[in-house]
Amino acid sequence: MSKYLSNSKRYKYPLPIHPLDNLPQLLPHNPVSWLYWLYCYISSTNLLAKKIDIEVTNGHRITVPGEEDMLYLWNNGFFGTARLSRSEPTWKARTLARLGIDESFNALEKVTEKRRHQRLAFKKERRKFEAIRLDLRKKGVLESEILDKERQFLRELRDQELILDSEDYQVREEDDELLLNDGIVNLEVLELMPVEAIFLTFALPVLRPSVAEIAELLLGPKPTYTEIHNLITQYVAYHHYRSHGWCVRSGIKFGCEYLLYKRGPPFQHAEFAVMVLDYKDTPDYTWYSGIARVIGGAKKSLILCYVEPLLQKEEIMSLWDQKDFEQVFASHRVGEILYRRWVPGKNRD
Amino acid sequence: MEKDEEFDHATAKLDSDEEGDELAQDWSQMAKVTVSQNVIPKRGEKDFEPDGTNVQELMLFRAKKAMFDSLSGAIRGSVVKNLVKAYYVPEKHMAVVPHPKGTFMHTMGRVDSSGCCWLEVYEFVYLAERGTVTPYWQNSGREDDEFDVPLSVEDTYSLFKSQSELDEFFVYAHLKRLGFIVSSINQNVPHWSSYLEVSSITGEQRVYRYFTSLFRLIPTIPHFSIYDPYHFYFRRYTSSGQIYRSLNLLIPSYSAPRTVQELCNENADSYQETTDLKAWKISFNVWKPRTNFRKKSPGLPDFQIVVYNKNESGSSFPTYPEIRNIFQRLNYQFDFLTDGNMNDVQVANKIPQLNNEYKITKKEDESPRTKENKKNCKTYPPHIQQLRRLKKGYRSFVLAVMDDGLISFVRLSESDFGSENVWYEPNAFTKKSSKSQRPKRRPKKRSEKTPE
* pLDDT digits 0-9 by tens, B246-291: 888 888 888 888 887 787 777 666 555 556 677 888 899 999 998 8
The Cα B443–Cα B412 span in angstroms is: 38
The Cα A140–Cα A137 span in angstroms is: 5
Q: What digits encode the pLDDT tens for the residues B298-356?
A: 888 899 999 999 988 888 899 999 998 888 888 888 888 776 544 443 333 333 333 33
The Cα A97–Cα A295 span in angstroms is: 35
Most confident of A207-216, B120-129, B328-337: B120-129
Above 90 in pLDDT, residue A305? Answer: yes
The helix/strand/coil state of A274 is: strand
pLDDT-derived band of residue B52, with 50, 70 and 90 as boundaries?
confident
Query: Read out DSSP for A225-238?
Result: HHHHHHHHHHHHHH
Identify whether residues B252 and B303 lie together within a single domain. Answer: yes
Residue B438 domain-assigned (yes or no): no
Total number of residues shown for chain A:
349
Q: Do A263 and B317 touch (CB under 8 A)?
A: no
Specify whether the CB–CB gap between B323 and B412 falls below 8 A.
yes
The Cα A134–Cα B47 span in angstroms is: 11
Find the residue in A nearest to B318 (Cα). A282
The Cα B22–Cα B409 span in angstroms is: 12
pLDDT of residue B437: 40
Cβ contacts of B232 on chain A, cutoff 8 Å: 17, 45-47, 205
CATH 1.10.3210.10 holds for A223-339? no
pTM: 0.77
pLDDT of residue B304: 93
pLDDT-derived band of residue A273, with 50, 70 and 90 as boundaries?
very high
Q: Does the predicted interface ipTM exceed a cut of 0.95?
A: no
Residues in CB range of B76: below 8 A, 6 or more apart = none
Specify whether the CB–CB gap between B221 and A330 falls below 8 A.
yes
Identify whether residues B205 and B231 lie together within a single domain. Answer: yes
Q: Do B250 and A346 touch (CB under 8 A)?
A: no
Give the CA count within 13 Å in the CB-facing half-sphere of B389: 25
Among A263, A308, A337, whose Cβ lies nearest the Cβ of B323? Answer: A337
Q: What is the mean pLDDT of residues A44-52?
A: 82
For A49, other C-beta atoms within 10 Å of its C-beta total 5
Among B13, B243, B320, whose Cβ lies nearest the Cβ of A17? Answer: B243
The total of structural domains in chain B comes to 2
Identify whether residues B293 and B261 lie together within a single domain. Answer: yes
Per the structure, the complete domain to which residue B179 belongs is given by 162-340+380-426
Above 90 in pLDDT, residue A332? Answer: yes
pLDDT of residue B274: 54
Identify whether residues B203 and B129 lie together within a single domain. Answer: no
Q: Chain-wide mean pLDDT for chain B?
A: 72
pLDDT of residue A300: 93
Identify whether residues B248 and B145 lie together within a single domain. Answer: no
Q: Which residues pair with A337 in a beta bridge?
A: A304, B414
Tell me, yes or no, if A300 is annotated catalytic. yes
Residue A77 zone, left/alpha/beta (φ > 0; ψ -120 to 50; rest): left
Strand B117-119 and strand B94-97: the pairing is antiparallel
Q: What digits encode the pLDDT tens for the residues B391-427?
A: 988 999 999 999 988 999 999 999 989 888 888 877 6
Give the CA count within 13 Å in the CB-facing half-sphere of B84: 22
Chain B: nearest CA to A83, how far in angstroms? 17
Specify whether the CB–CB gap between B409 and A233 falls below 8 A.
no
The Cα A202–Cα B226 span in angstroms is: 9
Q: Does A240 touch chain B (CB under 8 A)?
A: yes
Q: Do A340 and B14 touch (CB under 8 A)?
A: yes
Identify whether residues B98 and B246 lie together within a single domain. Answer: no
The Cα A2–Cα B317 span in angstroms is: 53
pLDDT of residue B189: 47
Residue B52 domain-assigned (yes or no): no
The Cα A32–Cα A24 span in angstroms is: 11
Q: Does B2 touch chain A (CB under 8 A)?
A: no
A65-74, A197-206, B33-42: segment of lowest average pLDDT: B33-42
Tell me, yes or no, if A29 is annotated catalytic. no
Share of chain B above pLDDT 90, in %: 17
Among A134, A138, A244, whose Cβ lies nearest the Cβ of B248? Answer: A244
Identify whether residues B153 and B183 lie together within a single domain. Answer: no
Cβ contacts of A15 on chain B, cutoff 8 Å: 240, 243-244
Identify whether residues B273 and B403 lie together within a single domain. Answer: yes
Specify whether the CB–CB gap between B135 and B151 falls below 8 A.
yes
The helix/strand/coil state of A15 is: coil
**Torsions phi, psi for B445 (to 5 deg):** -80, 125
Most confident of A40-49, A114-123, A294-303: A294-303
Residues in CB range of B96: below 8 A, 6 or more apart = B86, B87, B89, B116, B117, B118, B119, B138
A4-13, B72-81, B328-337: segment of lowest average pLDDT: B72-81
Identify whether residues B168 and B152 lie together within a single domain. Answer: no
Identify whether residues B193 and B289 lie together within a single domain. Answer: yes
Q: Does B179 touch chain A (CB under 8 A)?
A: yes
- DSSP E strands, A91-193: 179-180, 183-184, 190-192
Total number of residues shown for chain B:
452
CB contact residues (below 8 A), chain A span 34-93, against chain B: 41, 44-47
Above 80 in pLDDT, residue A289? Answer: yes
Q: Does A157 touch chain B (CB under 8 A)?
A: no
Identify whether residues B295 and B409 lie together within a single domain. Answer: yes
Which one-letter amino acid corresponds to residue B434? S
Tell me, yes or no, if A92 is annotated catalytic. no
Residue B64 domain-assigned (yes or no): no
Q: Do B411 and A341 touch (CB under 8 A)?
A: yes
Cβ contacts of B415 on chain A, cutoff 8 Å: 303, 336-338
Q: What digits encode the pLDDT tens for the residues A214-256?
A: 888 888 888 899 999 999 999 999 999 999 999 999 999 999 9
Identify the active-site residue in A261, A280, A332, A339.
A261
> Where exactly does CATH 3.40.1350.10 map onto chain A?
223-339
Q: What is the mean pLDDT of residues B381-400?
A: 89
Return the ∠ at Cα B295 (arms to B121 and B194), rounded to 5°.
115
Most confident of A3-17, A122-136, A296-310, B431-445: A296-310
Identify the active-site residue in A92, A229, A239, A300.
A300
Which one-letter amino acid corresponds to residue A338? L
Burial class (CB in 10 A: 0-12, 13-18, 19+), B2: exposed
Q: Chain-wide mean pLDDT for chain A?
A: 85
Q: What digits encode the pLDDT tens for the residues B155-167?
A: 999 999 999 899 9
For B301, other C-beta atoms within 10 Å of its C-beta total 21
Find the residue in A nearest to B392 (Cα). A338
Among B116, B141, B159, the domain-final residue is: B159
pLDDT of residue B127: 92
Above 60 in pLDDT, residue B382? Answer: yes
> Could you tell me which of A288, A341, A284 has the C-alpha nearest to residue B312?
A284
Q: Do B254 and A335 touch (CB under 8 A)?
A: yes
Specify whether the CB–CB gap between A111 and A9 falls below 8 A.
no
The Cα A210–Cα B230 span in angstroms is: 13
Chain B: nearest CA to A297, how far in angstroms? 5
Among A17, A44, A334, whose Cβ lies nearest the Cβ of B251? Answer: A334
The Cα B187–Cα B168 span in angstroms is: 17
Among B17, B424, B426, whose Cβ lies nearest the Cβ of A297? Answer: B17
Residues in CB range of A57: below 8 A, 6 or more apart = A63, A189
Identify whether residues B253 and B301 lie together within a single domain. Answer: yes
Cα separation of the two ends of chain B = 16
A163-177, B4-18, B299-313, B345-359: segment of lowest average pLDDT: B345-359
Q: Does A137 touch chain B (CB under 8 A)?
A: yes
Specify whether the CB–CB gap between B396 and B414 falls below 8 A.
yes
Above 70 in pLDDT, residue A113? Answer: yes
pLDDT of residue B5: 42
Specify whether the CB–CB gap between A306 and A336 falls below 8 A.
yes
Could you give the strand order of the β-sheet that contains A55-57, starting from the edge strand earlier in sequence?
A55-57, A61-64, A190-192, A81-82
Q: What digits encode the pLDDT tens for the residues B176-232?
A: 999 999 988 764 444 444 454 444 445 555 555 555 555 555 544 445 677 777 777
Share of chain A above pLDDT 70, in %: 93
Residue B30 domain-assigned (yes or no): no
Share of chain A above pLDDT 90, in %: 30
pLDDT of residue B264: 77
